[in-house]
Chain A
Amino acid sequence: MNLSSIVTFDQFNARTLPPEKVAKTFIPPDQFKDICAHSHTTIIGPRGSGKTSLLKMLHPAALSNWEGGFAETIKRSISYTGVLIPSDITWNKQTLSFVEGLPVDEQRTFKTAAFTARVLHELLSVMIYRLGEPDGSTHVFRQSSLTRETEREIVTQMAEAFSLKLRTYTLRAIKHALTARNIEIWQIAQERHVQRSKDIPSWMFLDFFSCATYAIELYDDAINEGSGTWALLFDEVELLPEWLLNGLMTAFRSTNEKILFKLAISPFDERYENIRTALESMPDQDYKEIILWHPNKEEGHMFSQLLFQGLCHQRGIEISSVSDLLGPSLMEEGRDSNAYKFGSIQYDILHDALQLDGSFKRYWSRFGLNLEKIDQLPEWERASRVRKVYPIVAIRMFFRRFPSADGRDPRQRLRGRKNREIYSGGDSVLSITEGNPRWIIGIARLLIENSKSDSRPIAPEIQAMQIEEAGNRFRARIRTISLAPLLPQGRETTLLEFIDILGTYFQQRVLGDKFLSEPPLSFEVDENTNSNLQLAIGRAVNVGALVHLPQAGRRKILNSVKGERFRLSYMLAPYYKIPMRIGYCIKLSKILEGVDADQEEFLPFLA
């Protein structure tokens, strides 16, 4: 066993790549320009939506290494220095555990001390980075310089303010001392477990914002950038304990012009009231709210396309579009001139549907539509009565059983296509991946590995298999999310069971006996929805299983889901056999009417 057999997930997750490496393959989404703006920002998105990557790109090391495309234009627009304070679930749990058993106020002290040490450590790292190499051989973004003497002076002052004992007076020495402080915090906590009388040193009560502000002022004055601005980039803000979140919001609302805040945050947390209050008090020009998901699938296609192309390029495969590699989507509404003509896939599917799907035939007849004369329809009618319903018809033809006079399985008429191949094709894959970089990278890698260089497009059955695999991985993740804390008694329920209720409902409307030209595929949360269910919806949004459909003029971070609208993620569309569209919006209570009262585990959600 040796370290060479390490399996790394660096392809998946920017969290694992240092900023300079993120920059090498960075494809900026449309929102990036706004994220870079000189304003406080919240970057809101579910897991995998790219929040960490976008924050990393604001680090000087990333900006120094970012080239090509809009890089220079955007870099010129950035007039601050970014300091990323990373976080993750594991670190969060570790900081909760190491003080477990101590009085609550002490726990808070220790956790705050660990947080402060971390913020200062990252700040010092960036200060050191901006100085570049000692021999001046590299040029870095927002390069600065310090004489030895000046460095010693500011380090002396920092050390005194932070109560750090140093042997040498350099910025690196402070950074190392802050690393050692982390161990010291743990040791003191362990000692307090055993010996309650053990003193808590005064430096444990240092406030991160005051310390950071002080250090920044010292540094900027020393490098003759007295009016310089810094941006503190906090990742996974929702993992912070409440009082730290409150502290962050207080700092956020401060009028310190030297410091900007850019917060990466999941869409929902019941504690966000404080954040919403802080944000609502800020004039719009001082604050931007950026969402990283796409209520309408087409909004994410451009970015997804570029990312896909970039990934192919890295593997030595050049494509002009994703459809070049994956072929057309069977569910594509068909806007080119050959769509719906005799011999086209759209024609075949509609033809079969008119033979087999009596309910669809009634719809078709109601509007007097003629399959042979679709091209003669006015554009508005073609769009609203034919193209719009086509994906629904296609799904019904692929998945629904129709009674047939000759007794044959009607799906065999579709030239031997297998069911889930309907989700194959360029546009479909772009929609399924929802503009989520993690999903795009995951599926793209699997597809590229399975493609042979001279075989394009990739066979639909291979695509279907990989799409199914990606969906299963996602469902596995959702399955592990318990709703147990929401249900103190009785059987634990998983988030997946709740998603299954939604998916099954939508599926039944799409594949039911009655053809619906606009089936319900999204829902609105009733005002009187059970609080447990609201929290479940929130969790589903944060993990990406549900997509929020924000209403105009309202803040995008949610501490309550009442009155809000959601749809299922298109990553789950193949599993539930539903089209990828928002569809008609229905009240959640209507969906829950169908839940069998014998499903005991769901009774607490229905009360």
Chain B
Amino acid sequence: MRTKKNSCHFLRNMNPTVSPLDQAKISNRDYHVAIGVIGYESRARFFFETHSVRASVKLAFQFSDHQTLDFSSNLKFFTSAGFVPISPEQAGLDSLSAKIVELSASSKESISVIFDVSSLTRKLMSSVFFLLRKVSLQLFRSIDLTIVYSLAKFGSLPPDFGPVVFNGPAIPELCGWPKEPTQELGLVIGIGYERDLALGVIEELEPAALWMFRPRNLDKNYDAEIEEKNRGLFDNSVGAQASLYPIEDPYASFVAVDTLLSKCHTKYRTIILPLGPKIFAAAACLSALRLYPHIGYWRVSGGKNVEPVDRAPSGRILGLCADFNPK
């Protein structure tokens, strides 16, 4: 196993290369690692249930809270499909890391990972992405990541998000460390379906510059929902300028975000806070990793108050590919 002598490898520049997902190639192939999530949404298992994916190692992060709605069905599916449940906390991440290290010892090729991000938290998503980056640098080995996302069928969210229990870096490593700390704050925010949440966050952080991304959905019901839930933000002429990103084209969304972050972090102390669809959050996280450590990748959490709602799968799979290559 080849490692770089400098143990502070992860401080080095390593820009993951991002590319579109080739839908034709995600099934019927062998991966080294498949990662799923055992949560309460029925779409958590949709991808692995409907696609034939072979992997040497199959792991599924199992959440300990909100074990309701479709949780039992998901648990049953994943365990019967050979997935080993792991904790979504550090212990689980350590297991994942250990498996990748183990696999790299027995193979000289890139490590291939397929990861369904449909039903996981932004904290966990960014933890996994950062871990893959770190392990790639540690092992000096390329890791090919295939990100899949099961688009949900339209269904309204509860009217009130509840209080913001946490508003800060998704993980400490992605707090964002500006080159020039006296720069003004630039906030890039993804708009979501939670009533007034984006507005509240903007009001709290008071950015000097603000960019907003809102999804352009396939289902127009979603667009109406976003409009209604963010009326306070959009009605204000200052807040009216939001860029639309096509949810059905995650790669285009990534390019838009990445281009923006690349420019604005030279002028602003920049934070991205991607409310809204997880696939956008994934694109945003990849961009933050490309510009590590300068971009802060932040999240808000509503704590235990948030009522779990099942988001059934629409049948459509979206995704992105990222190549973590330290060479």
Contacts and interface: CB of A to CB of B under 8 A. Distances in A.
Interface of A: 1, 3, 5-13, 15-16, 86, 88-91, 93-94, 97-98, 100-101, 114, 118, 121-122, 179, 182-183, 186-187, 190-191, 194-195, 446, 449, 469, 472-473, 476-477, 479-484, 491-495
Contact of B163 (A5, A101, A479): A479
B243 interface: yes
Contacts of B212: 7
Contacts of B263: 3
Interface string B236-274: 111101010000000000001001100110000101000
B232 A190 contact: no
Interface string B6-17: 011011000000
Please indicate which of the listed interface residues A88, A101, A195, A473 has the most CB atoms of chain B within 10 Å of its own CB: A473
Nearest to A11: B238
Main secondary structure of the interface of A (DSSP, over half): helix
Contact of B165 (A472, A473, A482): A482
Nearest to A10: B208
Contacts of A195: 7-8
Given A94-B169, A480-B204, A482-B164, A191 B8 contact: yes
A53 B10 CA distance: 40
Contacts of B204: 89, 477, 480
Given A9-B210, A93-B168, A479-B163, 19 more contacts: A1-B259, A5-B211, A9-B209, A89-B204, A93-B169, A93-B175, A94-B169, A122-B182, A190-B10, A190-B11, A449-B237, A476-B196, A477-B204, A480-B200, A480-B300, A481-B163, A481-B164, A484-B303, A492-B304
Nearest to A6: B209
A91 B181 contact: yes
Nearest to A90: B185
A1 B203 contact: no
B205 A89 contact: yes
A86 B302 CA distance: 29
Please indicate which of the listed interface residues A6, A186, A481 has the most CB atoms of chain B within 10 Å of its own CB: A6
B238 A9 contact: yes
Interface of B: 7-8, 10-11, 160, 162-165, 167-169, 172, 175-182, 184-185, 196-197, 199-201, 203-212, 232, 235-239, 241, 243, 256, 259-260, 263-264, 269, 271, 293, 296, 300, 302-305
B175 A94 contact: yes
A94 B167 CA distance: 12
A7 B241 contact: yes
B327 to A, nearest CB: 21
A182 B208 contact: no
A7 B169 contact: no
A492 B307 CA distance: 12
A1 B172 contact: no
B256 A194 contact: no
A493 B163 contact: yes
A179 B176 contact: no
A53 to B, nearest CB: 13
Contacts of B168: 93, 97
Contact of A477 (B177, B203, B207, B296): B203
23 contacts: A5-B241, A7-B210, A8-B208, A9-B210, A12-B206, A13-B208, A15-B208, A16-B208, A88-B185, A89-B205, A90-B271, A93-B169, A94-B177, A98-B175, A118-B181, A190-B10, A446-B237, A472-B232, A473-B232, A480-B167, A491-B305, A492-B162, A494-B163
